[in-house]
Structure 1
Amino acid sequence: MTAPVVQSEKAYTALKKKKKWPNYALFFILPAFILYTLFVIVPTLGSVYYSFTSWDGISSDVRFIGLANFVEIWNSPRVRNALQNTLILTISLVILENILAILLALLVDKVRWFSKIFRSVFYFPTLLSGIVMGFVWAMMLNYNFGVINQLLTKIGFGAITVDWLGDPRYALISILFSTVWKGAGYYMIIYLAGLQGIPQELNEAASIDGASGWKQFRHITFPLLAGSVTVCMVLSMISALKIFDQIAVMTDGGPGFETETLTYLIYKVGFGELRQGFGTALAMVLFFIILIITVFQVKILQKREVEM
């Protein structure tokens, strides 16, 4: 019995020597590490420091003020309004984008003719930058010459035309639906990949047993899409929490502060009002909000994957 043990120990020692980390490998890692340190680690540590100062972002006068920025964030009605808008947009976008993406994926998966054309059409808005998409929708929603109001007038509903981006009741909704239009195609591709990985025999067997299309989706398709649901919901949530481009182009945070989110508020106070210290503190708060929500969401969705 000793011979096999000795041989196994020799094999383990040889394998260990074979996998020894060569010193020259550090030279290949060093350039990437230096760049990562300069452009990620150093700015991050700098942001932590500046969040405790009253720096304006331009002058060399950097005055340490402790927790004053965070106290102001806690007591600021404008921050609470931005947080409320952020949460409304985030929850709405996560739900609507994923529902629409699943419906589009189911539609494209069932289509046999011109399926590639449909995929391209639904995915095309994703290729547009947020700035371009914002300009397109801003023109379409314009009260005076926008396509939406012009179309409503043409079909006899001119009485219900509204200022979609200037009315506080509709501005946030307009940003919401334009963002759903842009983002749903991206998540559709992920769901479509998940659908094409589901064995067709399962649905065929369920159909033979008399299961309706809804029951097949509820008990077969949707549970097997659990992994795709987790990925898409986390990605859409992170994207929604840091939404910026559409708001900057379409409403500039207005009317008033009705469409101002945390990300846009960071930009406004940091660069518009020259309160870089306060903006950095707000960015730190947003970072921890995203971190907490992401960890919480992943744990719940992964637990649901196991249950499914």
Structure 2
Amino acid sequence: MDTVSKTKWPIIVGMAPALLIYLVFAIVPILISFYYSTMSWNGFSDMEFIGLANFREALGDPIFWQSLKNNLYVVAASVFGQVPIALFFALLLNRKLKGGKIFRTIGFMPVVISTVIISLVWGMMYNSRNGLFNQLLGAVGLESWAQNWLGDPKWAMISVCITIIWQFIGLYLIIFLAGLQNIPDELYEAAEIDGASGFKKTLNITLPMMKETIIVAVILCISGSLRTFDLIYVMTSGGPGHSTEVLAMYMFDQTFSSTRFGYGSTLSIFIFIFSLGLVYLATLILRRKSAAD
């Protein structure tokens, strides 16, 4: 008890700067957005209180619902694409392969490369006339499979999601590698003595020990997917016909292009609510499944 009382104030003092920064740059803007969401304001004239009119407009806005649907596509593609692929490669690289450090570096490179550069490069690869993908299809005699990848509403969202998956696999790869290295070797040695194969060790030791890490990765994946903006903005600008527009882009457009700061704040509130809801739902499902196992 004496140790706790002695260390309590140093801990509080040490956490205070980070807590202050978090309050100023995270909590306060959210509260301000709640205030602006009840106003009609173009950024120049006087604010006009309109209550929940912005919320009613958003719920009846078809572009809002289209943006939400596109966001859910991105979330699903990220969770079911980035996490399993990253876990698979992490399991491979954890086997002490020759040149493993080089592969880790290569895998993590897309995460640190500018998103604008990634968007431009993948945009050129998707080019309908002389893009890499259509050129490869033509080279193997599959010209009929060539598509206008970013100009066709049927393919635009899929193409964007593939790029997003590729960009962030390396982030979760590093997270999973860190989690794998924390699993005690004694567990694997005991399993080998019992005659367990590599697959059984992965199924009965590795994956159960990685559950908490996987839950954290899924939460990060969901929260990051709902903030997707720059990559789609550069690749498609939300087109064609709003087929790739996500909530963050629609909020940006309404706030700064249409100068509807009240309505833009309302959209940001919806993003906040959806983020909390999806993260809570994912955490609840994963932890219940973990407890059942």
Q: With structure 2 as the length reference, what TM-score do the two structures score?
A: 0.89
Q: Would the alpha carbon gap of residues 202 and 82 (structure 1) be closer, same or farther in structure 2, given more than 3 Å must change?
A: same
Aligned pair 1:47/2:38, yes or no? Answer: no
Identity percentage over the alignment?
38
Structure 1: gaps (5+ residues): 1-10
The residue number in structure 2 matching 1:126 is 111
Whole-angstrom CA distance in 2 between matches of 1:29 and 1:148: 52
Q: Would the alpha carbon gap of residues 182 and 52 (structure 1) be closer, same or farther in structure 2, given more than 3 Å must change?
A: same
Within 5 Å, give how 1:1-308 maps onto structure 2.
33=20, 39-56=25-42, 58-207=43-192, 209-308=194-293
Indicate the RMSD between aligned Cα atoms, in angstroms: 2.7
Give per-residue Cα distances to partners, 1:164-218, cap 9 Å, x unaligned: 1001111001111111111011101111122222234434544554544433322
SS at match of 1:45: helix
Q: With structure 1 as the length reference, what TM-score do the two structures score?
A: 0.85
Alignment-mate amino acid for residue 89 of structure 2? L
SS at match of 1:164: coil
**Cα offset for 1:147?**
1.4
Give per-residue Cα distances to partners, 1:203-259, cap 9 Å, x unaligned: 454455454443332222111111110111100111111111111011110110101
Q: Would the alpha carbon gap of residues 153 and 306 (structure 1) be closer, same or farther in structure 2, given more than 3 Å must change?
A: same
Alignment-mate amino acid for residue 52 of structure 1? T
Whole-angstrom CA distance in 1 between matches of 2:159 and 2:120: 13
Q: Would the alpha carbon gap of residues 138 and 50 (structure 1) be closer, same or farther in structure 2, given more than 3 Å must change?
A: same
Q: Would the alpha carbon gap of residues 42 and 223 (structure 1) be closer, same or farther in structure 2, given more than 3 Å must change?
A: closer
Whole-angstrom CA distance in 2 between matches of 1:183 and 1:101: 9
Structure 2: gaps (5+ residues): none
Greater shift, 285-294 or 200-209, is seen at: 200-209
Whole-angstrom CA distance in 1 between matches of 2:133 and 2:62: 34
**Cα offset for 1:39?**
4.2
- Number of positions where the alignment pairs a residue of Structure 1 with one of Structure 2: 291
Give per-residue Cα distances to partners, 1:86-141, cap 9 Å, x unaligned: 11211221111011001110121124211111111111111113222111111111
Q: Would the alpha carbon gap of residues 182 and 54 (structure 1) be closer, same or farther in structure 2, given more than 3 Å must change?
A: same
Instruction: Tell me if the contact between 2:77 and 2:165 (Cα under 8 Å) persists in the aligned partners.
Output: no
SS at match of 1:131: helix
Give per-residue Cα distances to partners, 1:269-291, cap 9 Å, x unaligned: 11122211111101101101111
Q: Would the alpha carbon gap of residues 75 and 15 (structure 1) be closer, same or farther in structure 2, given more than 3 Å must change?
A: closer
SS at match of 2:39: coil
Alignment-mate amino acid for residue 55 of structure 1? W
**Cα offset for 1:41?**
4.6
Q: Would the alpha carbon gap of residues 237 and 41 (structure 1) be closer, same or farther in structure 2, given more than 3 Å must change?
A: closer
| Larger-gyration structure (1/2) | 1
Whole-angstrom CA distance in 2 between matches of 1:79 and 1:15: 50
Whole-angstrom CA distance in 2 between matches of 1:208 and 1:37: 53
